[in-house]
Chain A
Amino acid sequence: MASSEPALAVVHLEFPPEPALLGTVRLVVGIVARKAGVDEEGVEDLKVAVSETCAVAVGDLAWAGLSTPIELDLVEEPDRFGVEVRDRAPAEHAPSVPEDGEVDDRQFGLALVGALVDGLHSTMLEGGGHSTRFWLRRGLEELPPPLT
C-alpha cells in the first residue's frame, strides 16, 4: 500500500569501538550531512556531537571489556537531521577519573553535545546498552518568529 509519508533517507554505520576510527566516523557524518543540505556550521556541530557521543560509548565498552560494534544512524528528515548512536555497554559506566589537573571529559563532552544539538535524549536498550538520540533543525530561517 502506498504511503503519503515521505521516505526517510537513513545511513547506517557499524564500527568497532576503537578511538582510531572516530576520525573516519566524523568524515562520514560530514559527507552525509552536507549531502542532506546541512550548512557548514551545522555540519561541524554534528561532527562534534557524534564524535563526543561515540567517544563515550568507546570508553564504556572498553571499560566493560566488550568489542561489540557501535551503531550509528544518520536520518535525513524533512525539517531536521537526526542522529542515533547505539552501543551494548552495560548501564554502569566507566568511572570518570580525570588526568592530573584536567577536567571530567565525560561530563564535559555530554554538556558540549547538549549545547550543540537539540533534543539530546539517552535511554537504556532492552538486553543492555544505550541509545542516544539528538537532532539538528534545518531551515530555521523559514520558521515563523517566536510568539511574544
Chain B
Amino acid sequence: MDLDLNVRKEGDHAVLGVGGEIDVYTAPKLREKLIELVSDGEYHLVVDLEKVDFLDSTGLGVLVGGLKRVRNHDGSLQLVCTQEKILKIFRITGLTKVFPIHSSVADAISDSAE
C-alpha cells in the first residue's frame, strides 16, 4: 500500500494530486509534501482527492494542518472530491464547513481566485 503524490503548477496554484489510501501509515508522506510545498512558498494549494480510495482521521488531521499552514501566509487550500464515500467523512466530521470542496480542479482554482 502506498500513496501516490504528484504536483503541478496551474498559474498561482500548486495542484497536489493524491492517489491511493490515506491512513495512519501513509498520512506522514502527505504531511511532508504539504510542509514542503509551503516551505517552497506555495501558499495557494489545490488537493485533488479524486483518486483517493480511503481516508481516515489521520488524513483529515493532515489536511487541517495543511490548511492552517497556508492560512498563516494568507493562502488557501481547496479540495477536489466527488466521491460520496470520501465526502461522507468530511460531512460527518463537520469539515465541509472548513474546507471548500469542488468537483474539479478548474472550479477550485476559479473559486480561489474570486
Contact = CB atoms under 8 A, between A and B. Distances in A.
Given A41-B85, A52-B57, A55-B56, A19 B25 contact: yes
Contacts of A79: none
Contact of A105 (B25, B57, B84): B57
Interface in A107-121: 108-109, 111-112, 115-116
A105 B85 contact: no
Q: Which secondary structure dominates where chain A touches chain B? A: helix
Contact of A51 (B23, B62, B69): B23
Interface string A53-66: 00100110000000
Contacts of A111: 93
Interface in B3-26: 21, 23-25
Interface string B56-78: 11101110110011000000000
Interface in B61-111: 61-62, 64-65, 68-69, 84-85, 88-89, 92-93
Interface of B: 1, 21, 23-25, 31, 54, 56-58, 60-62, 64-65, 68-69, 84-85, 88-89, 92-93
Given A19-B23, A23-B54, 16 more contacts: A19-B25, A23-B21, A44-B88, A48-B54, A48-B56, A48-B89, A51-B23, A51-B54, A51-B56, A55-B58, A102-B64, A103-B57, A103-B60, A103-B61, A104-B61, A105-B57
27 contacts: A19-B23, A20-B25, A22-B24, A23-B1, A23-B25, A23-B54, A26-B54, A47-B54, A51-B54, A55-B24, A55-B56, A55-B58, A58-B24, A59-B24, A98-B61, A100-B65, A101-B64, A103-B57, A103-B61, A103-B64, A105-B24, A105-B57, A105-B61, A108-B57, A108-B60, A111-B93, A112-B93
